[in-house]
Amino acid sequence: MMVIPASAVVEVVVVVVVVVVVVVVVVVVVVAAAALVVVVVVVVVSFSGDSGVGSSSNEYLVYKWIYLSKRRERNQQHTNETQPLDKWA
């Protein structure tokens, strides 16, 4: 039976740990770079859209403004119906 010296075992363990650490660092860097590319592409695409009247962002703001004004109107109407204007009458 062959006996493996302890120094050889330690050397193999150190090499395996170093390789694992290097692989993990490379994977983290690649994932971070990919995430950065995705963020840059999303920002560029969102700002490169049509900025004129009728663009999707302008339409969204118009619809949001209409929705909020209708909601405000409904809430005010509900308040007027449930509470008389003169509370002490």
| pLDDT tens track for 14-37 | 999 999 999 999 999 999 999 999
Structure tokens that stand for 35 in this block: 């995430």
Whether residue 77 has pLDDT greater than 80: no
55 backbone dihedrals φ, ψ, rounded to 5°: -70, 160
Query: Tell me: the pLDDT tens digits for 51-75?
Result: 555 556 677 888 888 888 888 888 7
Question: Is 87 part of any domain?
Answer: no
Structure tokens that stand for 8 in this block: 């050889």
Check: pTM over 0.75? Answer yes or no: no
Cβ atoms 69, 77 nearer than 8 A: no
Question: Is 61 part of any domain?
Answer: yes
Indicate the number of domains in the chain.
Answer: 1
The total number of residues written for the chain in this structure: 89
What confidence score (pLDDT) does residue 12 get? 94
List the domain range (segments joined by +) for residue 67: 8-46+54-82
